[in-house]
Structure 1
Amino acid sequence: MQTPSTNVSSAASPTTSITSKHPYKEPKQVEALAGLRDLLGPSNENYDDGELMRFIVARSYDLPAAKTQLLASLEWRKSNNVDDIPIPRSNNSNGVMYAVRGWHSVPDANIESGQPNVPEHAVRLQKYLGGSCLHKWDKEGRPIYIERMGQHNVKGLAKNVTTSELVDYHIRCTEFVHNTIIPECEERFGTDDKFIDKETVIFDCSGMGFHQLHMEGLNMLKSLTEMDQKAYPERLGKLFIVNSPFVFVKVYSMIKKWLDPGVIEKIHILGKDYKSVLLKHIDDENLPEFLGGTCTCSHMPGGCVPSVIMNNIKAVEKTPSSGNHLAVPTYLRPRSSSTASANSILDFVIPGKPKDGIYQLVSTVSHGKACEYEVVVADEDIGHEPEVVINFRMKGVRAACEGLNFTIVRFEFGEVADSGTIVVPTKFYSIEECPECGKGVEVKFGAKQAGLYVMSWKPENQRGLVQIEYGVSVDGILGEGDSP
């Protein structure tokens, strides 16, 4: 979504175009725009016709619903500081979030560590994505986004990247397209009768299999899809899904339930007979050779669509530790398979910075149920056996638990956690051994294997409640505290 324009005339009529370069002429469009501007009142002058029309179309000309969605999207942007996100532009040196090819605003580039305003998680997740690129433009002047969807390591992505990190990455990419690339397309290819505010997307499903049917990964995709439809309506021009195998039918049957009817109409599932269709919409010199065009981008490492998984480019080196970026992908989150997480835990994170090195994550467990949290250690960090440190302390319910023993800091390695492989010995603590304030109890261990570690604790009987605060760090860098 474009940032609301401030260069508007206060004398402009609410029934006419204010800042739009492309006036809408159809009677239905003119009437709808006038109606929505009337509903918005004086604030209607903050938006051009193109922006308003996207919300009108998204809500099938239901003007009150279009107003509601527009205002909700603006509130979402404000509460998440979306307009303050640094993105690559022609007047700065910010690094790109994925490969780009063929633009004036940003030179051809691949994502690299250490570039200005490229967060660590954007670099880390490249290892698990099949490869993507904003690659030139179609015959309508729309930017083309290509993703090797069939190569995604969905399970690795879900294990090593949090949903919040993936959402942040997606927002950064989307804002870059909408605020840097699409304005360039407008300048280069737009005319009085051709308004460019959408992109063309190609998903290549080559290599897709049942191994990608991973529910946590699909739930991540659902989060992105729902956000796009609410905050960025009518930004998709066409979506071509090529080389789609049988398994895609299974995946799409789930994804389709999340999509608005207007989005579904723009999706073209082409299977293996796709080249002639793509070439109707894209000139061959702008279409990668592996998709039926003639472009190879041989001047760039990885060619048209770099892919670590396909080994046409080397893995991006880890971003060095700096101020706001995690040097290792460590995070703390309730484990979805934890029985207690589903039945008997009240978990929440108190906003703000860590206090005394401990995030204010509070867990209350009753009935002797186990509470489980996850810690991730990445493959690239395992060589030096990073030190994982767990701090925990009581949170004010000692009276209810006097004399109670409980099990704390029981760690298991991810893939074999259910079979009970212990990598750090279980230890029993009495309530008196876990202080209410100060640093609390500290447990350390060297992570000898990369992957998912499960931390669990539980009271040893059903007497009362136990509240615990946790803090997790790896090599001194605090992980994230996520509420379930």
Structure 2
Amino acid sequence: MQSTPPSTTGSSAASIRSKHPYKEPKQVEALKNFRALLGPDNVKYDDGELMRFIVARSYDLNGAKTQLLASLDWRAANKVDDLPIPGPKNSNGVMYAVRGWHSVPDANIEAGQPNVPEHAVRLQKYMGGSCLHKWDKAGRPIYIERMGQHNVKGLAKNVTTPELVDYHIRCSEFVHNTIMPECEERFGTDDKVIDKETVIFDCTGMGFHQLHMEGLNMLRSLTDMDQKAYPERLGKLFIVNSPFVFVKVYSMIKKWLDPGVIEKIHILGKDYKSVLLAHIDPENLPDFLGGACTCSHMPGGCVPSVIMNNIKPVSKAPVPDGNLLAVPTYLRPRSSSAASANSIMDFVMPHAQDGIYQMFSTLSHGKPCEYEIVVADEDVEREPEVVIKFRVKGVRAACDGLNFTVARFEFGEKADSGTIVVPTKFYDLSDCPESSEGIEIKFRAKAAGLYVLSWMPENPRGLTQMEYGVSVDGILGEQTTDSS
């Protein structure tokens, strides 16, 4: 799912007043009071940008200020403004198919193109197809996604959440910083603001096989980020060919959404063509959605899809590009963990005690549980020492009648000493280890990227309470509560 982030930090050179003045008394008063609340820094933002945060928080100006400043901090910490995006003055490759724009020629995503990371190419194998396809009658860009064709399980298994977030942000930055200015130039008027996009999700082919919790957790990560950091960038969302299974999916997704976002969503069955054509001219709407466009000059037509076999699979780049969006070093459950389908309970307690976090897990059938340690770009400039601490203890009441096993720990090939294995130690009920016992592993991180911790009880069934901490040169890594 895609929406477009605001160019928050990049707007410092903008005029205080928007090109499109707000005239309603409520808007004028809110902008005046919001600028006063922001103080001298208010000159960094134009009216349109401030109004997006005001509307997102339903005119709660203190809430709007908190959200605006948080988005600034997020963009700075993650170096969002430094991301390379396609545009008329560079040769950067596109992150998905584009059709109908002057700023960037019609193109499909290709491996080996400048500043197209390997994970953006890899995930095309599991995506049902997507394209930024022309514009609607309001002059807004149209993003189309064949959601019903997604291989959700394959995506969750082969693409990490940080990779998907990075891809999502790059696509969004492209729309906001390259396409939106073109829309303004071509279609904008004094009375028409073009700062949002129209989205169409085609659910053709959707089934219960897509109700995969890891995939939904990934979607939730993107949704949460969009609403917190990128408010009011969605114009309308049309969900077409929606089957019964979508009702199940939407009942979960709806809980994550702000009321303002829900109001923009239009769920349509098979009688959707007249609705789309009321908002989009036929020549700008693909024929498979009721329009007249085929984009026959491009491989894959309007919306290329590897899964639908209308375009050849995108090959991986010869040299993998590990240039992930800069994120703080952290540890989280791995989406591709084999334990995800077998864990009865697996979660992380978010509060640390002396730099040690707690993780509880119950596994059946001896399936491994994997955790990711992401080392950020800025942390490897010094080749820092990464310290992983593990302490394990049994929960006596819970393991009544069961033997308790703490298995081996392994790190992936990026660790400079190769795979690190901690020998397994077996405990029975009367000899569960105390929490004071622990193991500490150290290695020098010579490259940014993903390191994997894998552990598994030797016993077919076993309950493990495990405590851990991750630090880089003494700085404790960020923890998450995502489930594996």
Measure, in 2, the Cα distance between the counterparts of 1:117 and 1:110: 14
Q: For 1:271, what is the secondary structure of its paired residue?
A: coil
Q: Is structure 2 residue 411 aligned with structure 1 residue 406? A: no
Aligned 8 A contact 2:148 2:207 in 1? yes
Q: Is structure 2 residue 30 aligned with structure 1 residue 24? A: no
- Residue 126 of structure 1 is matched in structure 2 by 124
Among 80, 94, 97, the residue aligned to 1:82 = 80
Aligned 8 A contact 2:100 2:106 in 1? yes
- Residue 391 of structure 1 is matched in structure 2 by 419
Measure, in 2, the Cα distance between the counterparts of 1:205 and 1:463: 41
Q: Deviations over 1:100-145 (max 9, x none)?
A: 0000010000000001110100000000010000000000000000
- Residue 93 of structure 1 is matched in structure 2 by 91
Return the letter of the residue paired with 1:364: R
Return the letter of the residue paired with 2:419: N
Q: Deviations over 1:255-283 (max 9, x none)?
A: 11111111111111110001111001000
- Could you say which structure has the larger radius of gyration? 1
- Residue 431 of structure 1 is matched in structure 2 by none
Gap regions ≥5 residues in structure 2: 1-5, 325-330, 349-357, 361-370, 395-403, 427-438, 445-451, 471-477
Return the letter of the residue paired with 1:456: W
Q: For 1:7, what is the secondary structure of its paired residue?
A: coil
- Residue 477 of structure 1 is matched in structure 2 by none
RMSD: 3.7
Q: Deviations over 1:367-398 (max 9, x none)?
A: 34446889999xxxxxxxxxxx961166xxxx
Q: Is structure 2 residue 301 aligned with structure 1 residue 303? A: yes
- Residue 227 of structure 1 is matched in structure 2 by 225
Measure, in 1, the Cα distance between the counterparts of 2:127 and 2:221: 17
Among 56, 59, 65, the residue aligned to 1:58 = 56
Q: For 1:392, what is the secondary structure of its paired residue?
A: coil
Q: Is structure 2 residue 11 aligned with structure 1 residue 2? A: no
Deviation at 1:459, TM superposition (A): 8.7
Measure, in 1, the Cα distance between the counterparts of 2:479 and 2:118: 18
Measure, in 2, the Cα distance between the counterparts of 1:98 and 1:438: 37
Q: Deviations over 1:339-375 (max 9, x none)?
A: 6854864889595349999965444333344468899
Q: For 2:201, what is the secondary structure of its paired residue?
A: strand
Measure, in 2, the Cα distance between the counterparts of 1:462 and 1:149: 38
Give 1:253-268 correspondences, 5 Å limit. 253-268=251-266
Q: 1:350 to 1:189 in 2, by over 3 A?
A: closer
Q: 1:129 to 1:438 in 2, by over 3 A?
A: closer
Aligned 8 A contact 2:295 2:301 in 1? yes
Q: For 1:118, what is the secondary structure of its paired residue?
A: coil
- Residue 385 of structure 1 is matched in structure 2 by none
Measure, in 2, the Cα distance between the counterparts of 1:164 and 1:321: 20
Gap regions ≥5 residues in structure 1: 10-17, 378-388, 395-403, 408-433, 440-452, 470-480
Measure, in 2, the Cα distance between the counterparts of 1:151 and 1:129: 7
Among 197, 200, 221, the residue aligned to 1:199 = 197
Deviation at 1:333, TM superposition (A): 4.7
Q: 1:27 to 1:370 in 2, by over 3 A?
A: same
Measure, in 2, the Cα distance between the counterparts of 1:93 and 1:170: 20
Return the letter of the residue paired with 1:171: I
Measure, in 1, the Cα distance between the counterparts of 2:14 and 2:381: 44
Q: 1:233 to 1:372 in 2, by over 3 A?
A: farther
Deviation at 1:6, TM superposition (A): 3.3
Return the letter of the residue paired with 2:123: L
Return the letter of the residue paired with 1:5: S
Q: 1:482 to 1:165 in 2, by over 3 A?
A: farther
- Residue 207 of structure 2 is matched in structure 1 by 209
Measure, in 1, the Cα distance between the counterparts of 2:272 and 2:383: 58
Deviation at 1:324, TM superposition (A): 3.3
Aligned length: 403
Among 38, 63, 68, the residue aligned to 1:40 = 38
Q: Deviations over 1:271-328 (max 9, x none)?
A: 00011110010000000000000000000000000000000001100111156359xx
Q: Deviations over 1:65-100 (max 9, x none)?
A: 111111111111111111111111110011111000
Return the letter of the residue paired with 1:365: V
Give 1:245-260 correspondences, 5 Å limit. 245-260=243-258
Return the letter of the residue paired with 1:2: S
Q: For 2:190, what is the secondary structure of its paired residue?
A: coil
Return the letter of the residue paired with 1:392: I
Identity of aligned residues (%): 69
Higher RCO (CA < 8 A, seq sep 6+): 2
- Residue 364 of structure 1 is matched in structure 2 by 391
Q: 1:349 to 1:109 in 2, by over 3 A?
A: closer
Q: 1:345 to 1:302 in 2, by over 3 A?
A: same
